[in-house]
């Protein structure tokens, strides 16, 4: 018997709008900048931050079908998708980058996915990179159907990192929450992986405000990704946004002692658990930019806290 598919927006009971809280930090105040933390990490315990905002509209579109998606061995997006599958009762399949992982015990992140019922398929790096090509995607979709015991026609594909047009539209809500907040945010900053969150944030902020994206990967491809996502989601450029690509610290999941020290100090000062892959680089970038005088005096600067550290 089929029960109606619950609307994920209701069934997952997200905490929205997420809280926006000022923090007193003299490294910003000295330069006339008011720092606020947009606590998207508090939206949902299992689908924190932008992962909820990006997945919710996709889960609505999937209508309970098997969801196939992609990620690295420590992907927050894979974990969020697996958790949503458990909570809402739909099948999930994750294609993981790196076929060498198939012969090893699962790391804690992938163990969590498996415990939530996600079927894991391990792809060699060449196929993984080619996952957008129709023939390769068709093979993954067929494999996912077989793994989940469903017809490949009933497999709904969510791209790596969860970023597509629906996701960018979901993240426009983040911009709209900031736009409508009486704190009078003038600049909103977010750490970027695939750029889906920035694409939506900028669109939702509306005129007179700007979005700033801090890249945590190296490579200089992000601007093109954000433009492409905005074209797909909004039909063209939307909102005022720019990128900072100086703060990747060597690349994804790379860090330096200075970054670690900064993050630990921020936790001590403000009691905010600082997620290290994205949020630490965002906050470090913002404090450096403030010191460089990049923000006019009187700026109300919202830092979007997109996630929190993993529970031990
Ligand atoms: C996934 C993720 C991001 C990056 O979001 P994109 O939309 O891919 O740019 C930022 N912060 C955290 C904590 C994330 O998990």
Task: State the average pLDDT over residues 257-286.
Answer: 97
Specify whether the CB–CB gap between 304 and 174 falls below 8 A.
yes
**pLDDT score of 6 more than 80:** no
User: Which residue is associated with the tokens 């697996």?
Assistant: 82
Q: Are 124 and 97 in contact (CB under 8 A)?
A: no
pLDDT of residue 1: 44
CB-CB neighbours of 54 under 10 Å = 28
Q: How far is the CA of 287 from the centre of ligand 1 (A)?
A: 20
275 CA: nearest ligand 1 atom: 13
Pocket of ligand 1 (CB under 6 A): 49-51, 76-77, 161, 163, 191-197, 275, 278-279, 306-307
CB 211 within 8 A of CB 190: yes
Task: Name the residue of 307, 308, 309 to mutate for ligand 1: max ligand atoms within 8 A of Cβ.
Answer: 307
pLDDT at 9: 72
CB atoms within 10 A of CB 103: 7
Q: 149 CA to middle of ligand 1, Å?
A: 31
Q: What is each CA distance from 194 to 142, 216, 222, in whole angstroms? A: 26, 10, 7
pLDDT, tens digit (0-9, with 9 covering 90-100), for 23-42: 999 999 999 999 999 999 99
CA angle 191, 46, 42 (to 5 degrees): 60
> What average pLDDT does the segment 17-23 reach?
97
Å from CA of 75 to ligand 1 middle: 10
Q: What is the pTM of this model?
A: 0.95
Give the nearest ligand 1 atom to 278 CA: 11
Per-residue pLDDT tens digits for 147-173: 999 999 999 999 999 999 999 999 999
Q: pLDDT > 90: what percent of the chain?
A: 92
For residue 152, count CB atoms less than 10 angstroms from its CB and return exposed for 0-12, middle for 13-18, buried for 19 or more.
middle
Report the atom number in ligand 1 closest to the C-alpha of 191: 10
Instruction: Indicate the top mutation candidate among 18, 53, 54, 76 to test ligand 1's pocket, ranked by most ligand atoms within 8 A of CB.
Output: 76
Domains of the chain with CATH codes: 8-49+163-304 (3.40.50.1100), 51-162 (3.40.50.1100)
Is residue 55 within 8 A of residue 158, CB to CB? The reply is yes
What pLDDT sits at residue 68? 98
Apex CA 235: angle with CA 224 and CA 128, to 5°? 45
Kindly report, residue by residue over 47-83, the tens digit of the pLDDT. 988 999 999 999 999 999 999 999 999 999 999 999 9
pLDDT for the residue numbered 52: 94
């Amino acid at each position: 018997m089929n029960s109606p598919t619950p609307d994920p927006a209701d069934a997952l009971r997200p905490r929205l709008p997420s809280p926006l809280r000022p923090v007193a930090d003299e490294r910003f105040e000295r330069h006339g900048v008011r720092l606020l933390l947009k606590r998207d990490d508090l939206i949902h315990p299992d689908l924190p931050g932008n992962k909820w905002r990006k997945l919710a509209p996709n889960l609505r579109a999937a209508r309970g079908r098997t969801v196939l998606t992609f990620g690295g061995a420590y992907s927050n997006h894979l974990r969020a998708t697996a958790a949503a599958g458990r909570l809402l009762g739909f099948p999930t399949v994750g294609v993981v980058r790196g076929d060498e992982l198939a012969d090893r015990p699962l790391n804690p992140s992938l163990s969590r996915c498996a415990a939530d019922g996600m079927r894991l398929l391990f792809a060699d790096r060449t196929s993984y990179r080619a996952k957008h090509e129709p023939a390769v995607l068709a093979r993954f979709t067929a494999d996912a159907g077989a793994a989940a015991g469903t017809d490949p026609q009933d497999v709904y594909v969510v791209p790596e990192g969860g970023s597509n047009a629906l996701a960018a539209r979901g993240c426009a809500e983040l911009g709209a929450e900031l736009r409508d907040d009486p704190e009078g945010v003038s600049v909103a900053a977010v750490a970027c992986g695939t750029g889906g969150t920035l694409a939506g944030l900028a669109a939702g902020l509306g005129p007179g405000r700007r979005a700033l994206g801090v890249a945590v990967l190296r490579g200089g491809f992000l601007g093109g990704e954000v433009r492409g996502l905005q074209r797909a989601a909004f039909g063209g450029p939307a909102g005022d946004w720019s990128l900072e690509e100086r703060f990747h610290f060597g690349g994804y999941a790379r860090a330096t002692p200075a970054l670690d020290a900064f993050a630990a100090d921020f936790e001590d000062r403000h009691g905010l658990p600082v997620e290290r892959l994205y949020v630490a680089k965002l906050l470090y970038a913002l404090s450096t930019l403030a010191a460089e005088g990049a923000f006019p005096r009187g700026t109300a600067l919202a830092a979007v806290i997109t996630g929190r550290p993993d529970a031990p």
